[in-house]
Amino acid sequence: MEASLNGSKTATIVARAQALFDDLSFASAREWKAAAPGRKVVGYMPIYVPREIIHAAGMLPLGIVGGGDQLEVIHGDAYYQSYICRIPRSTIELGVSGRLDFVDGMLFPSICDVIRNLSGMWKMMFPNVYVRYFDVPQNYRDDIGGNYYVNELTELMHHLGELRGQPITDDELRHSIAGYNENRRLVRELYSFRAQRPWQAPAAEVYLALRAGLVLPVEQHTEMLRDYLAAAASEERPRRDNCRIVLTGVFCEQPPLNLIKSLELAGCYVVDDDLLLVTRWLTADVPTEGNPLHNLALAFLHQSESTAAKYEPNLKEKGQHLVRAVRRSGAEGVIFACPSFCDPALLERPMLQHVLKDADIPYIAFKYAENSGQMQPIREQAGTFADSIKLWSGT
């Protein structure tokens, strides 16, 4: 980790997160499962699933976000044409190569047609796994979308109860909600810490720390976040003359870690992003009193992130979340990084750009794939962007 101090507390934490990131056989999740009889693991893809319900069943929610740039895709390409993004083929590769053979269930959230269709493929290819396409409402009225969603959640809760052989109780769910509330609070704290002092919490480190939350039990991850925050706040690191940008479009297929590092090396501190949104999808604490499924549903309807896969009913609100992210984090520009062939990100992009233009916020855009190797063009583009921002701001 370039920005870490050797032997420092942050370096130790980041090294652990990096090891989890590098491990394409999911050893830590396997160990967790093997540690007690009857344990089960339920995988989920981007963009959001209520991990609380999986946790409440005593299971480990395992985030699957493709194979990255280190996985050799041997079988996956036989399932996808060249004009389809990369995450489904590397995910299929993870499955076909046996790397996910310990996973008992897979949830495919409603994000796009590719992941939607992958849910059916998974059903056919892995018939012994519990597979569910996880639909969410695009109608945000409590009595319409809310009712629908509560019923969907009830069904999921019922299925997971069946999978473990014992129904999930409301108290178990309340307990899990509390655990994830705490985790999300720390994620938000980390984001606001980075927005204030991005040199103290480099984007690649923050990403790795977040990414660890996809494979670790939430309690351990919360611990890791707490430790990282404390360590990052206490270690003084050199401050560069970088500009501050919001990175957007990276909500599904992951950019290579090198890409994230390259942005900062090129002169852009990432002060907010839409990476791994599941870790902070719900933007406020979910109440732990009352009906837990209703609480999860209401949080989804009224206190959740905005992204391309979610309908924005109000034209005036369209894209404002990005403007707010820029203002909140004190960013000076936006970098659109979208996966190649990603309809949601690429169709959303012009609308967001119009909103930024109206708000006088500069931006640049490029595409990537999870296995993009050449960072030079991106580095140059980001470098020029950083220079021009400095020029505009008269520094």
Partner 1 sequence: MTTTIVTPKAAPAKEVEKDASMVKQKEMMAAHYDRLTSAPQTGEKVVSTFVPGNLNELTMCFGLLNNLPEVNAIQNGLRRTSGAFVLEAEKIGHSEDVCTYVKSDIGMMAKGNIAPNGKRFPDPDVLLLSYTGCFTFMKWFELLREQYKCETIMLHTPYMGDGKITPNMIEYMVKQLKDEVIPTLERISGVKFDIDRLREYLKKSATAEDDLVHVLQSAKRKPSPIDAYFGGIYYIGPIFGAFRGTDDAIDYYRFLREEVEARLAAGKGPVTPDGDMGKEKYRLVVEGPPNYTNFRQFWKMFYDEGAVVVASSYTKVGGVYDFGFRHDPEKPLETLAEYCLGVYTNRSLPMRIDMLTNYVNDYDADGLLINSIKSCNSFSAGQLLIMREVEKRTGKPAAFVESDLVDPRYFSAANIKNRLESYFQMIEQKRAATRAAA
Which residues sit at the interface with ligand SF4, rule CB under 6 A?
85, 87-88, 111-112, 114-115, 252-253, 339, 342-345
Among 24, 129, 351, 359, binds partner 1 (CB under 8 A): 351
- Among ligand SF4, partner 1, none, residue 130 binds (CB under 5-8 Å by kind): none
- Among partner 1, ligand SF4, none, residue 79 binds (CB under 5-8 Å by kind): partner 1
Q: Starting from the edge strand earliest in sequence, which strands make up the sheet with 333-339, in order?
A: 268-273, 243-248, 333-339, 363-368
Nearest distance, CB of residue 345 and partner 1, angstroms: 9
Nearer to partner 1, 11 or 73 (CB): 73
Q: What is the CA radius of gyration of the chain?
A: 20
- The residue with tokens 């370039």 is 2
Contacts of 233 (CB under 8 A, 6+ apart): 193, 200
DSSP letter at 44 equals: E
Q: Is 89 helix (H, G, I), strand (E, B) or coil?
A: helix
E-assigned strand segments in the chain: 41-44, 60-63, 105-109, 130-134, 243-248, 268-273, 333-339, 363-368
E-assigned strand segments in 33-160: 41-44, 60-63, 105-109, 130-134
- Binding-residue pattern over the window 73 to 92 for partner 1, x denoting contact by CB under 8 A: -----xxxx-xx---x----
Nearer to ligand SF4, 42 or 112 (CB): 112
Nearer to partner 1, 119 or 222 (CB): 119
CA dihedral of 244, 367, 361, 308, whole degrees rounded to 10: -110
Q: Which stretch binds partner 1 (CB under 8 A): 12-20, 93-101, 144-152, 378-386?
A: 144-152
- Among partner 1, ligand SF4, none, residue 367 binds (CB under 5-8 Å by kind): partner 1
**Does residue 239 bind partner 1 (CB under 8 A)?**
no
Q: Do residues 345 and 339 touch, judged by C-beta distance below 8 A?
A: yes
Nearest distance, CB of residue 339 and ligand SF4, angstroms: 4
Nearest distance, CB of residue 47 and ligand SF4, angstroms: 8
**Does residue 158 bind partner 1 (CB under 8 A)?**
no
**Does residue 341 bind partner 1 (CB under 8 A)?**
yes
- Among partner 1, ligand SF4, none, residue 377 binds (CB under 5-8 Å by kind): none
- Binding-residue pattern over the window 28 to 67 for partner 1, x denoting contact by CB under 8 A: ----------------------------------------
- The residue with tokens 């490029």 is 366
Nearest distance, CB of residue 145 and partner 1, angstroms: 8
Residue 311 in tokens: 């309908």
Residue 392 in tokens: 């505009």
**Does residue 70 bind partner 1 (CB under 8 A)?**
no
Distance, in Å, from the CA atom of 130 to the CA atom of 159, rounded to the nearest integer, reads: 9
* DSSP string computed for 347-374: HHHHHHHHHHHHTT--EEEEEE-TT---
- Among ligand SF4, partner 1, none, residue 87 binds (CB under 5-8 Å by kind): ligand SF4
Among 144, 230, 233, 284, binds partner 1 (CB under 8 A): 144
Among 343, 362, 381, 388, binds partner 1 (CB under 8 A): 343
- Among partner 1, ligand SF4, none, residue 175 binds (CB under 5-8 Å by kind): none
**C-alpha pair distances (Å), 41 with each of 159, 268, 296:** 14, 38, 21
DSSP letter at 139 equals: -
Among 44, 108, 207, 251, binds partner 1 (CB under 8 A): 108
- Among ligand SF4, partner 1, none, residue 147 binds (CB under 5-8 Å by kind): partner 1
Contacts of 91 (CB under 8 A, 6+ apart): 45, 64, 66, 67, 76, 118
Nearer to ligand SF4, 252 or 266 (CB): 252
* DSSP string computed for 215-240: TS-HHHHHHHHHHHHHHHHHS--PPP
